[in-house]
Structures are given as structure tokens and as C-alpha cells.
């Protein structure tokens, strides 16, 4: 996976077995234009084709920005059908990332606003630097977050906090983002290095088990406790029949590190 994405504004590289870093580089602020969206789709395509990705890290090459939001200058030039098609492309990228058969980490160092925050929320986990800022300012444009923001944000921080962030269009500082669950880890140093360290931790466990945990937790938002417990049991049964479970249990008994598939 050592190739460039569409328009060379998105690139990806393998940093260690099973770990891929996807880098967005569209100055000045990584506005989510078609080139970035196409590049993200291309990176996901390449990872799916490779079939050996355990962790995908999303990062920015630009100082002070993860993704500053949608490409507003582009939006000012298009009609309603083109606007909807653009939104569909954004939603598709986020949905593919959220449903991908690997764990994804958004490494955020700077602004993650609008579509940038929506992209980060589609990732499995989020690591932020102390200077990261988060927001969904679409109401300032007479819009609402339309690429998953109204759905994923309340699932992370609760309905009340989500409405506060969206209705005021304010920027949430990194320490508050950690406190309310918008990010999972806050680091003072290099955010990519922290994400790579987290990726190493994740690589030591079974990917099928991790994905089963993600599915079970995600399902809890829409299910009763009883239905959610049933879904958990189904996932557990499927894992017990998988080779990783036998290897993990055997390794524990033999007091060695497991060698997962």
C-alpha cells in the first residue's frame, strides 16, 4: 500500500505489519473537496484489496489542521443536486470508514471542524493533541451537519452536549473533548506517534474479537438491554468458533503471547 491517492492530496503508507497511515495534504486547511474525498475512497479501496490491515490511522500533513471542514468555496458554485451529490460522497467515505474490517484511529493535531469532525467521528477511536479543537459550525451557514454529525456526535457525548456544540457552533478545546468522550486520548507530544503507539497496543489482540466488540457496542444504541445481550451472546459464540479464540486461550494457559491470524 505504498501508493498515492487521488490528485496526490491523500497518500498512504505501511509503517509496520498491519498498520497503515493515511495522510491528507490539501493546503491551506484540508478542506474536504472532491480530491480529498476521492483520495479517502482510494485509500480504503487499497486497504480492502490488501486484506491485511489491522489498524488505519488518519492524519494531516498540515500544521494546525486535521480537516477544517467542507470546501465552502466549492459549495458556493454548485446547485442543489450537485450539493446533494457532494454530501453523498462525504457520507459514503465516512460510512465506509465506520464499517471497515479494521480499527481506525483519527490522529488530530489542530482544527477538526464540520466535515472534518464528522470524518474523525466515523473512525473507531480518536487521539487529540492539546491544541486540537473540535466543532460543528454548520448552523452559521444555514445548514446542519449532514455527513453523520447529528447522529454520531450524540452517540459519543450525549444529546444535550451534542446540541450545545451544534447550536452554538462553538469550538470545543481538547481537554473538554476528552472529558465528554469526544476523543479517547489526549497527548502533549506528537499525536501521530501516540496513534502509532496505540496501534501497536491494538495489534497485540485479535482483530475479529475487536471488531465484534465494536459491533456489539454500536448495536447497544438501538437495542433494548435484552436484545443487546442477545447480540453480545451471538458475537461471543461466533468468536469461540474462530481460530483466534482457541489460540488466545491456549496461549494464556501456556503463558505465552498469542499468535493471532
Kindly list the catalytic residues. Answer: 118, 138
Classify the C-alpha dihedral 17-38-126-228 as positive or negative. negative
Q: What is the 3-state secondary structure (H, E, C) of the chain?
A: CCCECHHHCEEEEEEECCEEEEEECCCCCCCECHHHHHHHHHHHHHHHHHCCCCEEEEEECCCCEEECCECHHHHCCCCHHHHHHHHHHHHHHHHHHHHCCCEEEEEECCEEECHHHHHHHHCCEEEEECCCEEECCHHHHCCCCCCCHHHHHHHHHCHHHHHHHHHHCCCEEHHHHHHHCCCCEEECCCHHHHHHHHHHHHHCCCHHHHHHHHHHHHHCCCCCHHHHHHHHHHHHHHHHCCHHHHHHHHHHHCCCCCCCC
Amino acid at each position: 500500500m505504498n501508493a498515492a491517492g487521488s490528485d496526490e492530496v491523500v497518500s498512504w503508507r505501511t509503517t509496520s505489519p498491519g498498520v497503515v497511515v493515511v495522510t491528507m495534504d490539501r493546503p491551506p486547511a484540508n478542506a474536504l473537496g472532491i480530491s480529498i474525498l476521492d483520495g479517502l475512497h482510494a485509500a480504503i479501496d487499497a486497504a480492502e484489496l490488501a486484506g491485511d490491515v489491522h489498524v488505519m490511522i488518519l492524519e494531516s500533513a498540515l500544521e494546525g489542521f486535521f480537516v477544517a471542514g467542507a470546501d465552502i468555496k466549492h459549495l458556493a458554485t454548485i446547485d442543489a443536486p450537485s450539493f446533494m451529490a457532494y454530501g453523498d460522497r462525504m457520507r459514503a467515505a465516512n460510512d465506509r470508514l465506520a464499517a471497515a474490517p479494521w480499527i481506525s484511529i483519527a490522529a488530530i493535531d489542530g482544527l477538526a471542524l464540520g466535515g472534518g469532525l464528522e470524518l474523525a467521528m466515523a473512525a473507531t477511536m480518536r487521539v487529540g493533541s492539546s491544541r486540537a479543537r473540535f466543532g460543528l459550525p454548520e448552523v452559521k451557514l444555514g445548514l446542519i451537519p449532514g455527513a453523520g454529525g447529528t447522529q454520531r456526535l450524540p452517540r459519543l457525548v450525549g444529546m444535550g452536549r451534542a446540541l450545545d456544540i451544534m447550536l452554538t457552533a462553538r469550538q470545543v478545546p481538547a481537554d473538554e473533548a476528552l472529558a465528554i468522550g469526544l476523543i479517547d486520548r489526549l497527548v502533549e507530544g506528537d499525536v501521530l506517534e501516540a496513534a502509532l503507539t496505540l496501534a501497536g497496543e491494538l495489534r497485540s489482540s485479535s482483530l475479529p474479537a475487536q471488531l465484534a466488540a465494536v459491533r456489539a457496542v454500536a448495536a447497544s444504541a438501538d437495542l433494548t438491554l435484552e436484545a443487546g445481550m442477545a447480540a453480545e451472546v451471538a458475537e461471543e459464540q461466533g468468536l469461540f468458533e474462530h481460530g483466534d479464540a482457541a489460540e488466545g486461550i491456549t496461549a494464556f494457559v501456556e503463558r505465552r503471547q498469542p499468535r493471532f491470524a
